[in-house]
Structure 1
Amino acid sequence: MELRHLQHFVAVAEDQHFTRAAERLMVSQSGLSSSIRALERELQAPLFVRTTRRVTLTAAGRALLGEAERILAQVRSAHDAVAAVQGVLRGSLTLGAEQCIAGVHVATLLAAFRRRHPDVEICLRQAGSGALAEEVAAGRLDLAFAVRTQADTDQLRSVPLTSEPMTVLCHPTHRLATAAVLTPEELGGEDFVDFHPDWGPRLTTDAAFAAAGVHRTVTLEVNDVHSLLELVQEGLGIAVVPRHFSVKREAGGLTALPFKGVMEASYETVAMLPPVDATSPAARALMVLLDAPDERV
Structure 2
Amino acid sequence: MEIYQLRSFLAVARLGHLTRAAETLHLSQPAVSKHIKALEEELGIALFERTTSGMALTKAGQLLLTQAERTLVSAVELVNMARKMRGEVAGTIRLGTIIDPEYLRLGEFLGQLLQHYPMLDVKLSHGISGWIFEQVSAGLLDAGFYMGVVNDASIGSIELRDMTYLVVAPPQWASQIAKANWRELACLPWIGTPKQSSQHRLVKQMFEEQNLDMTIVVEADQEASMRNLVASGVGLCLMRDDIAQQAAARGEVVIWEKTKRPTTLSLIYSRTQADQTVIHAIEQVIRDVWGVPQDVLQRSEP
TM-score normalised by length of structure 1: 0.68
Letter in 2 for 1:21: A
8 Å CA contact retained: 1:8, 1:35: yes
2:222 to 213, 221, 224: 224
CA distance in 2, matches of 1:27, 1:135: 20
CA offset digits 1:257-283 (Å, max 9, x no partner): 22333xx4133323255899x994133
Aligned residue in 2 for 1:242: 240
Aligned residue in 1 for 2:286: 287
SS in 2 for 1:118: coil
Q: Give, in angstroms, the shift of residue 82 of structure 1.
A: 3.1
Query: Could you tell which deviates more after superposition, 219-228 or 176-185?
Result: 176-185
8 Å CA contact retained: 2:113, 2:282: no
Q: CA, structure 1 residues 222+147, in 2 after alignment: closer, same or farther (shift >3 Å)?
A: same
CA distance in 1, matches of 2:123, 2:189: 37
Q: CA, structure 1 residues 11+84, in 2 after alignment: closer, same or farther (shift >3 Å)?
A: same
Counterparts in 2 of 1:8-19, with a 5 A limit?
A: 8-10=8-10, 14=15, 16-18=17-19
Aligned residue in 2 for 1:3: 3
Letter in 1 for 2:192: D
Letter in 2 for 1:149: V
Q: CA, structure 1 residues 27+157, in 2 after alignment: closer, same or farther (shift >3 Å)?
A: closer
Aligned residue in 2 for 1:83: 83
Letter in 1 for 2:39: L
SS in 1 for 2:286: helix
Counterparts in 2 of 1:93-242, with a 5 A limit?
A: 93=93, 95-100=95-100, 103-122=103-122, 124=124, 129=129, 144-149=144-149, 159-170=159-170, 172=171, 174-176=172-174, 184-242=182-240
Q: CA, structure 1 residues 151+182, in 2 after alignment: closer, same or farther (shift >3 Å)?
A: farther
Aligned residue in 2 for 1:269: 264
TM-score normalised by length of structure 2: 0.67
Q: CA, structure 1 residues 248+111, in 2 after alignment: closer, same or farther (shift >3 Å)?
A: farther
SS in 2 for 1:176: helix
Aligned residue in 2 for 1:255: 252
CA distance in 2, matches of 1:247, 1:38: 59
- Two-structure CA RMSD over aligned residues (Å): 4.7
SS in 2 for 1:241: strand
Structure 2 alignment gaps of length 5 or more: 293-302
8 Å CA contact retained: 2:164, 2:262: yes
CA distance in 2, matches of 1:199, 1:63: 31
Structure 1 alignment gaps of length 5 or more: none
Letter in 1 for 2:254: L
Q: Give, in angstroms, the shift of residue 193 of structure 1.
A: 0.5
Q: CA, structure 1 residues 96+225, in 2 after alignment: closer, same or farther (shift >3 Å)?
A: same
